[in-house]
């Protein structure tokens, strides 16, 4: 099965155009712990109520030579929970993405229907919500500052609808999902004709667990993301020790290599703290060398039958 997983990942990499990514959506190194952001079908799949907070500082210390603003930063707060009586799940998230003079703010909810297939689960999900862009004109440096058609101060904000859909498949030792974001292709004008239109994004995710021993297990992961103009491939491997701590490496095609580590807190390991450090390996002259990311998750077990809970470490992430 492990060979089949890597064959599929390799086939997808060959079929998709492998150019450097220039997409609109925020990127995350610890994507394997932030899956609701990529796929609405993930809502409730874990069978536990989970709260997640993410902070990413990209290209720390970056300062533009022209215009205002600094390095991109992104924050995400999300929750996901199963709805057992309906064989489904609910999820929601808020995203704040700062890109110099432009801010992107999202507030969206997800619903997923779960189908049990023998010892696996197939989930179909949809996400709806609002996508707001804010432009700070004071951070731009126009070529002709006295042009009356160009704003040089103040802010403008616009809100547009946003819809996504996805499918997620999970078995004991592996998972895979595909999703499509920004299906309505909303546009933001800001005084010009349809600038900053949202583009369709496709996300392919996959993972495979391998038990080395009772205390040690491996997770191999991949994320392929594309806006159908450019594509980025992420590959990673993580080692877990007694479900208490983990560490690993990840690679983002034509961009960075990353170190990942984390530790579980509380008696039942329900509180988890993850950290990643990215090191840029390409185009360092246009960026700074490092990016940092923190992920905090808290899982509240759901026990519909009132029975004692037996935790399965494989499904704790």
Structural domains of the chain, ranges and CATH numbers in brackets: 25-198+252-315 (2.40.160)
In the numeric block, the tokens 């590959």 are attached to 235
Q: How far apart are CA 58 and CA 173, in angstroms?
A: 32
Instruction: Supply the pTM of this predicted model.
Output: 0.83
190, with CB counted inside 10 A (0-12, 13-18, 19+), is: middle
pLDDT tens digit sequence for 86-105: 999 999 999 999 988 889 99
Q: Of 203, 230, 283, which Cα lies nearest the Cα of 20? A: 230
Assess whether pLDDT exceeds 50 at residue 7: no
Q: Of 237, 115, 129, which Cα lies nearest the Cα of 186? A: 129
Report angle CA 166, 168, 172 to the nearest 5 degrees.
Answer: 175
Contact 183, 166 (CB under 8 A): no
pLDDT tens digit sequence for 43-85: 999 999 999 999 999 887 766 655 556 788 999 999 999 999 9
Contact 92, 115 (CB under 8 A): no
């Amino acid at each position: 099965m492990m060979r089949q997983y890597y064959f599929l990942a390799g086939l997808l990499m060959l079929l998709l155009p492998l150019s450097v990514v220039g997409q609109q959506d925020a990127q995350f190194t610890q994507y394997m712990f932030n899956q609701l952001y990529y796929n609405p079908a993930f809502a409730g799949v874990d069978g536990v109520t989970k709260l997640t907070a993410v902070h990413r500082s990209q290209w720390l210390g970056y300062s533009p030579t022209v215009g205002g603003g600094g390095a991109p930063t992104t924050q995400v707060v999300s929750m996901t929970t199963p709805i057992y009586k309906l064989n489904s799940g609910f999820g929601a998230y808020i995203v704040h993405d700062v890109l110099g003079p432009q801010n992107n703010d999202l507030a969206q909810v997800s619903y997923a229907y779960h189908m049990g297939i023998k010892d696996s689960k197939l989930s179909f999900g949809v996400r709806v919500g609002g996508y707001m862009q804010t432009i700070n004109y004071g951070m731009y440096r126009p070529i002709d500052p006295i042009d009356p058609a160009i704003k040089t101060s103040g802010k403008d904000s616009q809100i547009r609808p946003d819809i996504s859909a996805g499918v997620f498949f999970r078995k004991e030792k592996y998972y895979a999902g595909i999703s499509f974001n920004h299906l309505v292709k909303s546009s933001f004008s800001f005084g010009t004709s349809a600038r900053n239109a949202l583009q369709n994004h496709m996300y392919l995710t996959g993972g495979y667990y391998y038990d080395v021993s009772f205390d040690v297990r491996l997770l191999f992961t991949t994320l392929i993301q594309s806006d159908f103009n450019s594509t980025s491939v992420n590959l990673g491997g993580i080692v877990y020790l007694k479900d208490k701590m983990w560490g690993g490496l990840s690679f983002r095609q034509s961009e960075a290599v990353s170190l990942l580590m984390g530790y579980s807190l509380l008696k039942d390991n329900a509180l988890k703290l993850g950290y990643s450090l990215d090191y840029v390996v390409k185009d360092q002259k246009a960026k700074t060398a490092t990016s940092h990311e923190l992920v905090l998750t808290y899982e509240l077990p759901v026990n519909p039958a009132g029975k004692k809970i037996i935790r399965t470490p494989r499904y704790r992430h």
